[in-house]
Structure 1
């Protein structure tokens, strides 16, 4: 048996003869070339393994890979700074809640909605709504999002699932905002479907009022957002035409209380600067006292005067309603506050209080009509001053 050293020496001295058997050499080269061409042709993976087996392998591989989850605060920070972020890595229930709480803590509405939508897609409805119900901020943001999308059925589901039944009436207002149109039928159907979920009689009454208002608006081709707004618009249009029957009928139909109705009437007349109608509507003569008038309203006289003062009426108008107040001290207080100088001067003259009149003279503009009225009273020798 030859030694290893003899084998290598013998091998190293051997040579290939490229000149022998050209045909065989050519055949070999052709085979090699053909093999190289085949290697460059991509193979379809389903020709090697079935899709079913491939899915099993990938699922098992995926289950053994440890997913790296960034801290929730870090992901929220990246979202806030418009950097790249990944939410799909948050797979556990606990991690998703941490993400939601971190979003709420930062207080950015867009981020909160992004996280909520992620949770809505990756949690079952029971878990999703339960966790939202424990976070009022999340409910509010999600509700606003659904309102903007006009997803009213989803909004109803949210309110019911999170225990915010009292907010259901808001959906009626949303459905009615473009009335009159086809939404009225949708609104009535919604009422039939969900009226039992409105627990309080006040809510049910308000819903019935909305439905009645819609029918009234469709009948009269009107469009306002509320009963009071519709009343205001009716007052303006009716009084501009010198009529008022529809206003009174509207009051009866919607059972508007006297205080609210009269306050609207007073405000509209002031805005229209229809001062004569204001006086005629809300004052009446007192026959036992000459030139004395009384307020014809359920509104307290002092409050009525404050109400009209916000519209900057002429001084004579304020004087008319101040004269309806029986308490002289209240009249004086309001007259001074509203700078109705004539009433203040007359009061101090009647009281023969020269000292108070002189003090008040310091508060009026020099050489103004009020200043001259005070000066004239002080110079009146017929007045017997007490001080």
Structure 2
């Protein structure tokens, strides 16, 4: 037993002892198995016993039996890795596109050449599948120079628009502005930066500083879109007005929201005062239609019908009441009815409709009975008035008005 212990404790034996923690054999080590040893080299101690020392067996190098490629696959399997993942199978462009469209796994990395990648992009564009297009564009971004990818996209609008939408949705504004700038679309890049500034928000001072710089750097150049330049210039004016107002409730609000605030809190301030609704309208170039709509809603909600009537009804030089509004009459009547305006105000508005048939239709739609009765009387249509009477509540004010109208001997009825 002592001899055996001495054997296992020798340093040489320890170095050659088998261990499950040893690294996986390399191909060269596997190939060396079974090869003849050089003269004088000792046999492995585990197999040097007398019982097998005299056995003569012809040995062949393993490389004569198994190829290097197969050995590498054996080693990959031994390491737990997927051999297919390690060596992606080459696929045709059509096969890859088909797999992408069907949602099946496929390896884009088997397409290594620029030509193959370009064909992939064109094939996806021809199919028109958005997911396939975006997947391939992102693959190109990973494996090619960005400038080269942008050049490919510049002549492929469908793929370009999908990638732009992706960058927008992901909030990757820096990459988006780089792309648009490289494509010569600096104003578009600036507008995306502006939208990002709006989403970010922050203090009025900070937003005013960022937007002012954006206007100076991108929208004061020749060839800039005039509409976009004006829009940003108006927004800078609004931010300057909000900074002057020093009302936190107005920060980052639209011009119409600011107008509603001024109508509710500074209605009687004269033009020239910065908080006057008229001054704000002039400064922000708010249209008369927008002004009328905001004033109507603000004062109707607060029950200030005297202001609403003074805005929409005027007296002419003969003392007759006229209706003046930039809001289309049907829209005006609909909103007044929703806000529970008086029947008198509704009747005043609908009576200014020139065509009798239109006037009758609107009066019936909004249940303005006095106008309906008056219109039938003017048309001398006794039958229509009697039929209308049947739709009214007996002894109601409008029911009595119909009866009195039918008894009016001054009207020469046509039926």
For 2:109, what is the secondary structure of its paired residue?
coil
Q: Go from structure 1 to structure 2 and tell me whether the alpha carbon gap of 1:350 and 1:134 turns closer, same or farther (over 3 Å shift).
A: same
Query: Across the two proteins, how many residue pairs are aligned to each other?
Result: 332
- Aligned residue in 2 for 1:105: 128
| 204-213 or 166-175: bigger deviation | 166-175
**Residue aligned with 2:90, SS:** coil
Match of 2:216 among 189, 192, 204: 192
The separation in 2 between residues aligned to 1:115 and 1:236, in whole angstroms, is 55
Match of 1:223 in 2: 251
Quick check: 2:177–2:192 contact (8 Å CA) kept in 1? Answer: no
Q: CA deviation at 1:299?
A: 4.9
2:170 paired with 1:173: no
- Give the match for residue 143 of structure 1: 164
Query: 1:57-136 residue pairs with structure 2 within 5 A?
Result: 68-69=90-91, 71-77=95-101, 80=103, 85-97=106-118, 99-100=120-121, 102=124, 105-108=128-131, 113-136=134-157
Give the deviation of 1:135 after TM superposition.
4.6
Alignment match, 1:279: 309
TM-score normalised by L of structure 1 = 0.68
**What's 1:157 paired with?**
178
Cα 1:325–1:77 change in 2 (3 A) is: closer
Distance 2:344 2:107 in 1: 71
What is the CA distance between 1:300 and its match in structure 2?
Answer: 5.9
**Pair 1:32–1:147, CA change in 2 (3 A):** closer
Which residue does the alignment assign to 1:36?
16
1:319 to partner: Cα distance: 1.3
| Stretches of structure 2 lacking an aligned partner (at least 5 in a row) | 1-5, 27-86
Question: Secondary structure in 2 aligned to 1:69?
Answer: coil
Task: Name the CA distance, whole Å, in 1 between partners of 2:170 and 2:97.
Answer: 29
Is this contact kept in 2: 1:361–1:371, CA < 8 A?
yes
1:334 pairs with 2:339: no
* Deviation larger for 117-126 or 130-139: 130-139
Call closer, same or farther: CA 1:352–1:32 in 2, change over 3 Å. Answer: closer
8 A Cα contact 1:348 1:357, kept in partner:
yes
Q: Secondary structure at the match of 1:294?
A: strand
Question: TM-score, normalization: structure 2?
Answer: 0.64
Check if 1:323 corresponds to 2:345.
Answer: no
Using the alignment, how far apart are the partners of 2:160 and 2:256 within structure 1? 30
